[in-house]
């Protein structure tokens, strides 16, 4: 007689949490905050382009030496990239699964009268799609230099100017940054609600902070291509 070697395995807490709606919303909130912190640092770094090629290229070179000698050359950048990939994938998968779950929960009897998605929902959904496509373009443009018309390895200032000197690259960037601003405006407030920060008396300050961050990041990011197009940066 064969022995049953199977053992009952209890699902892990992380697995149970991920499968729940609350868990997916928390994953979106935390991953969104990670990306927001990166965006603030990235924007501040981008603004160094206004100090000229020497400063901007020096800043780009310094990023590759962070953590040395404890970390090897460029290890810090790769750690950041891995964390960002995990955050982006987690955010996108959770958003997709929550959307599917919301659709499946709608009563079949009322399928002919589907509710119109709210403005915020449409903005988050399509903004996420736009930003996902932009990330791919941005990597091909200024990281791998695949689509940059006059790219030169090791010269980030010159590569940025070359990219934003073309109308199509500048347009792609501007549209994506406007989508980013709207995404942050709605996403920050949603994350605050998920993490329980929307307590009485905090609603208005949180909404103000969300609007301020969205405006600051949008203006900070679009300042670079606009300045290249207008000749302020060349």
Report the C-alpha gap between 184 and 39 in whole angstroms. Answer: 10
The residue with greater pLDDT, 212 or 109, is: 212
Please give the DSSP secondary-structure letter assigned to residue 103: H
Summarize the confidence of residues 211-228 as an average pLDDT: 96
Report the C-alpha gap between 109 and 112 in whole angstroms. Answer: 8
The residue with greater pLDDT, 118 or 72, is: 72
Cα 136 to chain centroid, rounded = 12
Confidence (pLDDT) at 116: 47
Taking 70 as the threshold, does the pLDDT of residue 4 lie above it?
A: no
Q: Which of 142, 195, 177 is nearest to 32 (CA)?
A: 195
Percent of the chain residues past pLDDT 70, beyond the cut: 89
Q: Which of 117, 182, 173, 119 is nearest to 141 (CA)?
A: 173
Phi, psi of 45 (to 5 degrees): -65, -40
Confidence (pLDDT) at 33: 94
Let me know how many helices (H) and strands (E) the chain has, helices first. 8, 0
| pLDDT tens digit sequence for 197-218 | 777 777 788 888 999 999 999 9
User: Cβ contacts of residue 162 below 8 Å, gap of 6+?
Assistant: 148, 149, 150, 151
Q: With contact defined as beta carbons under 8 Å apart, do 189 and 210 qualify? A: yes
Report the C-alpha gap between 7 and 70 in whole angstroms. Answer: 44
- Using only C-alpha atoms, what is the Rg of the chain? 22
The whole model's pTM is what?
0.87
Report the C-alpha gap between 218 and 160 in whole angstroms. Answer: 18
Report the C-alpha gap between 181 and 233 in whole angstroms. Answer: 23
């Amino acid at each position: 007689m064969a022995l049953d070697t199977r053992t009952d395995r209890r699902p892990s807490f992380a697995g149970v949490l991920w499968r729940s709606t609350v868990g997916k919303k928390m994953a979106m909130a935390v991953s969104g905050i990670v990306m927001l912190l990166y965006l603030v640092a990235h924007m501040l770094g981008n603004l160094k382009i206004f100090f000229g090629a020497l400063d901007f290229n020096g800043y780009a070179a310094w990023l590759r030496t962070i953590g040395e000698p404890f970390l090897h050359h460029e290890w810090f950048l790769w750690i950041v990239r891995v964390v960002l990939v995990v955050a982006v994938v987690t955010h996108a998968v959770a958003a997709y699964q929550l959307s599917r779950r919301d659709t499946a929960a709608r009563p079949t009897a009322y399928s002919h009268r589907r509710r119109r998605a709210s403005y915020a929902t449409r903005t988050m959904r399509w903004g996420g799609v736009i930003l996902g496509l932009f990330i791919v373009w941005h990597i091909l443009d200024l990281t791998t230099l695949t689509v940059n018309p006059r790219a030169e390895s090791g010269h980030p200032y010159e590569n940025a100017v070359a990219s934003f000197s073309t109308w199509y690259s500048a347009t792609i960037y501007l549209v994506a940054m406007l989508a980013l601003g709207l995404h942050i405006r709605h996403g920050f407030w949603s994350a605050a609600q998920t993490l329980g920060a929307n307590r009485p008396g905090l609603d208005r300050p949180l909404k103000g902070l969300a609007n301020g961050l969205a405006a600051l990041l949008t203006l900070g990011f679009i300042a670079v291509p606009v300045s290249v197009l207008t000749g302020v940066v060349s």
